[in-house]
A and B are shown apart, each in its own frame.
Chain A
Amino acid sequence: MSNELEFLSHRVATGKLSRRDFLGRAAALGVTAAFANTLLGSAARAAGPQKGGTLKAGMQGGESTNSLDPASWQSQVPYKFGRQWGEQLVQMSPDGEVKPCLAEEWHASDDAKVWTFKIRKGVQFHNGKEMTPDDVLATMERHSDENSKSGALGIMGGIDKIKVDGQNVVFTLKDPNADLPYLLDDYHLMIQPNGGKDNPVAGIGTGPYKVAVNEPGVRHVGEKFANYWRDDRGFADSIEIIVINDATARTSALQGGQVDMINRVEPKIVDLIKRVPGVTIQNVAGKGHYVFIAHCNTAPFDNNDLRLALKYALDRDEMVQKILHGYGSVGNDTPINKAYPLFAEIEQRKFDPEKAAFHYKKSGHSGSVLLRTSDVAFPGAIDAAQLYQQSAAKAGITIEVKREPGDGYWSEVWNKQPFSASYWGGRPTQDQMYSTAYYSKADWNDTRFFREDFDKMLFQARAELDKDKRVALYKSMGEMVRDEGGVITPMFNDFIDATGPKVGGWFADGNQEMMGGYALSKCWVQA
């Protein structure tokens, strides 16, 4: 970097030169706009966070039906807003480790059945009350109540008893679970005063921003909480989420400068957006994946040879290129990729029409296979089904594609019909992913994968505190699902967000879109 450029970018970062002037002078020095923006970004990071201003995000995934009650959260906007005003006991770091948040530290008994979390002192709720272990206990109780409608009910089901012991909260589990801290990162488990039992929709938590405006489906505004306990986030004076469900409206709001960041940039327009001056595409590999699911217990899919034939007949590379436009990675017929902790490489399954034809013949199936798909199954699910139809045709397998209405797809088709398209958002740990959708008794065992030997390994791995043994167990489980399961995984999708010129401090965090949900509190407004 030339001295002059370095000098200029430093001046911008310290607020002595406007961004626009900088770009102009950089261009005069023969630097492309894209490179100049990168320079600016690194200079801004080096200069450190700046305080003040307003950060605005335009986000898909908000409805006028949303509520501030964490138990009710299903869609992106309330949950991402919650990340700014609420906090859990633990939080995931960008590289997928569990880090302390409202719990300072924790330890497990040797059998991984009793977990003790030491609750942080001196943390204030937005209403001025100090957060206590009793509030933690009450929160956990509210979410584990059988009558609660909490989205965390499934997680809390494995907990037998919770009690307060001085400054500690002690969880006693029904069965050993080495992953409990990961589970407590769940976004429903925001610690509220008295657990939110008095008023679940009060929107009072311990996060860096207080709820200032809450208009479901329109906008949510947070104001900086003066007594926040950490100084590594909460830089802007106020933050705002504007609900923009239409993709074109979202991108034009970013281009017009009405918002500073947006989520869910469609892969097919990424290359166009990249060319807009000042706009940066922020993509990161995540755990979310798209699937075709076949019920292992329903004819004709109860035949493993047919399932193998369908797996070999899928051209994963083509799907990543054509459906995700390269913003993703190929799947391997398991729900796990290297974004997960304790991941071990398993041989990649490739498109192989000959093997597909071989297994198809061996299965003895004749006639077509009916695949149900819909716009809502995942973005591009209709096109993906048609690509699948064509690649399967090369192996002599006829797939009949049926397009289902998006309305009612999740209640009438997914988890009901034997062969359909769907998606999974991913879970923090392998154990959670497998327990949610591959354990015999799971409600959402959407491939009807009933295997006692698999369940046994699942429990064994969950109770095991030795890391190497867990890795080995998860590898065997992965191989079993890959070779005998009903899930056909074409691809893992990247999270694609975009930021405008004002945003400083963005870094990759693959736990969720928008920097794991923390973009609004961890980024800052740069001059």
Chain B
Amino acid sequence: MASLLKLVAQRIALGLLLLLAVSVLIFVGTQILPGDVAQSILGQSATPQALANLREQLGLNDPAYVRYFHWLWGMLHGDMGTALSNGQDIATSLSGRLKNTLFLAFWAAIVSVPLAIILGLIAVRHKNGFVDKLISGLTLASISLPEFFIGYLLIYFVAVQMQWFPSVSTVYDSMSFLERMKAIALPAATLTLVVLAHMMRMTRAAILNVMQSAYIETAELKGLTPFEIIRRHAFPNAIAPIVNVVMLNLAYLVVGVVVVEVIFVYPGMGQYLVDHVAKRDVPVVQACGLIFAAVYIGLNIIADITAIVSNPRLRHPK
């Protein structure tokens, strides 16, 4: 048990270290974007006088490393600063956006993860039969279509032709839970279709791999039904790779959905980040980058830990 705790602690420490490295990368990356903040904020209509005033006000004349430590210090205290472009407090506007992103990701995951795993199990049960090929074919078709195309297809058929769900998924605080669910139906469906195939194929492959083992043969010989064998013997042993791919897809649902957000006009983190990159609003870009990195690293740590915990060989290393 102690060695397990130590392993977990190691993983978390490594994750934090990685996050620190990422923060340096993010900072350097935002520094080498072409153009400067003042110019981007004022756009085509900038006069040199207004540019000079703005640069002065934003403190763009300090050296880079000073700004880095200043920024890191603020971040560690939960102070993300204010957006350069509109003067709003970043933590406040970001938390609203993050909440929206997590809300969408949560519901997409609630639908897609169990669906993918069950479909995977069914596919294994009917290995190489018609059902297996149908499931594989459909999920592969949905992953092969670009996500914006799936989005447009859903908008055209479900929103415009049948008018079941709105094509604009704008959500706001005064909405009731049901209204929200209705609003996010189409983007959540799009995301589900996008991530389904990957998880389903991985589940299928992992379980099939286990199915070759000798203990499965034993189980068969002692007369268990095929589905029992999968549920009791194959699935628990295949859980590590499945959790890995599920976590990767969950991370995608949080950090990779900007296209879906744009199509469905969903006020999430992706759109927020892109707007601020376009305006060279560095503090916001840095904050978003760090949050995305934290989500990614965090989910991967969870996947790692689950893999260790579920595998006795890793739990009790020699």
A64 and B159 contact, CB distance less than 8 A: no
B163 and A256 contact, CB distance less than 8 A: yes
B34 and A412 contact, CB distance less than 8 A: yes
Residues B261-291 near A (CB distance < 8 A):
262-265, 267, 271-272, 275-276, 278-279, 281
Instruction: Count A/B pairs, Cβ under 8 Å.
Output: 121
B170 and A245 contact, CB distance less than 8 A: no
Q: Mark B8-49, 1 if CB is under 8 A from A, else 0.
A: 000000000000000000000000001110011111110111
Complex: A219 Cα to B155 Cα, angstroms: 20
Contact of A407 among B34, B48, B264, B281 (CB under 8 A): B34
Complex: A253 Cα to B97 Cα, angstroms: 22
Complex: A216 Cα to B160 Cα, angstroms: 27
A258 and B262 contact, CB distance less than 8 A: no
A252 and B278 contact, CB distance less than 8 A: no
A252 and B156 contact, CB distance less than 8 A: yes
A252 and B160 contact, CB distance less than 8 A: yes
Q: Is the interface of A mostly helix, strand, loop or mixed?
A: loop
Q: A64-B276, A151-B45, A217-B275 are in contact. Are A408 and B263 (CB under 8 A)?
A: no
Q: Is A121 an interface residue, CB under 8 A from the partner?
A: no
Chain B interface bracket (under 10, 10 to 19, 20 to 34, 35 or more): 35 or more
Q: A149-B54, A153-B49, A245-B262 are in contact. Are A65 and B85 (CB under 8 A)?
A: yes
B267 and A249 contact, CB distance less than 8 A: no
B152 and A243 contact, CB distance less than 8 A: no
Q: Is A368 an interface residue, CB under 8 A from the partner?
A: no
Chain B CB within 10 Å, residue with most, of A218, A244, A410: A218
Contact of B48 among A148, A253, A414, A443 (CB under 8 A): A443
Contact of B50 among A149, A217, A253, A444 (CB under 8 A): A149
Chain B residues near A408 (CB, 8 Å)?
34-35
Q: Is A72 an interface residue, CB under 8 A from the partner?
A: yes
A244 and B276 contact, CB distance less than 8 A: no
Q: Is A511 an interface residue, CB under 8 A from the partner?
A: no
A256 and B172 contact, CB distance less than 8 A: no
Q: Is A3 an interface residue, CB under 8 A from the partner?
A: no
Q: Mark B86-104, 1 if CB is under 8 A from A, else 0.
A: 1110000100010000000
Q: Is B300 an interface residue, CB under 8 A from the partner?
A: no
B168 and A249 contact, CB distance less than 8 A: yes
Q: Is B213 an interface residue, CB under 8 A from the partner?
A: no
Please give the distance in Å from B260's CB to the nearest CB on chain A. Answer: 11
Q: Is B53 an interface residue, CB under 8 A from the partner?
A: yes
B34 and A246 contact, CB distance less than 8 A: no
Complex: A153 Cα to B42 Cα, angstroms: 12
Chain A residues near B86 (CB, 8 Å)?
64-67, 72, 216
Contact of B47 among A64, A153, A215, A255 (CB under 8 A): A153
Give 30 pairs: A residue, B residue, CB < 8 Å, sorted on A: A58-B168, A63-B279, A64-B272, A64-B275, A65-B41, A65-B83, A67-B85, A67-B86, A72-B86, A74-B42, A146-B49, A149-B42, A149-B54, A151-B45, A153-B47, A213-B172, A217-B267, A219-B170, A219-B172, A244-B168, A246-B262, A248-B155, A248-B263, A249-B168, A249-B262, A252-B155, A253-B167, A253-B265, A258-B167, A408-B35
The 9 closest A-B pairs by CB, nearest first: A65-B85, A67-B86, A63-B275, A218-B267, A408-B35, A411-B39, A411-B35, A252-B167, A408-B34
Q: Could you list 8 further interchain pairs (A-B, Cβ under 8 angstroms) beyond the known A147-B53, A153-B47?
A: A63-B85, A64-B276, A65-B281, A74-B43, A153-B49, A215-B267, A217-B275, A408-B34
